[in-house]
Amino acid sequence: MSDRSLRGMRLGSQSMETEAGVEPAPRQRVEYRCQDGERVFVTFAAEAEIPATWISKTGKEALLVDGEKPAQGNEKPVRTHWDMLLERRSVEELDQILTDRLNLLRERRGEKTSA
């Protein structure tokens, strides 16, 4: 019995379906360019709305070739957690709070505090 092994299909790992007769959805290839001349090609569905800008793999913003430049909106700059914290406290206050908390932590651990 050990010289024979059971043969079969690995369930779920291979598909029995073929791609015969399958037609992919219509697509369009769009070109974007960064300011330094880097070209970026993106494939979209034919009915998709094409964005005016695209972020390339290198992290640079690319503009649509032969497209309209995006309008500069009056958007507020993004506020970070640090910005919101500085609206409530000054840097000196934050420094003092940090020192107090570190001293409290060191006291709990039984370490000497340096004031």
Going by pLDDT thresholds of 50, 70 and 90, the confidence category of residue 114 is low
% of the chain residues with pLDDT over 90 = 56
Going by pLDDT thresholds of 50, 70 and 90, the confidence category of residue 2 is low
Q: Are 58 and 50 in contact (CB under 8 A)?
A: no
Q: What is the pLDDT of residue 110?
A: 87
d(CA 51, CA 56) in angstroms, rounded, equals: 13
d(CA 58, CA 38) in angstroms, rounded, equals: 10
Numbered ranges of CATH 2.20.28.270 in the chain: 27-64
Top-confidence residue, 70 or 42: 42
d(CA 73, CA 111) in angstroms, rounded, equals: 54
Average pLDDT of the residues in 10-22: 76
- Does CATH number 2.20.28.270 belong to domain 27-64? yes
The token pair at 33 is 């360019």
Q: pLDDT tens-digit profile of 56-77?
A: 998 999 999 987 777 777 778 8
Prediction pTM value? 0.47
Least confident of 40-49, 67-76, 99-108: 67-76
List, in sequence order, the alpha helices (H) in 1-115.
81-88, 91-109
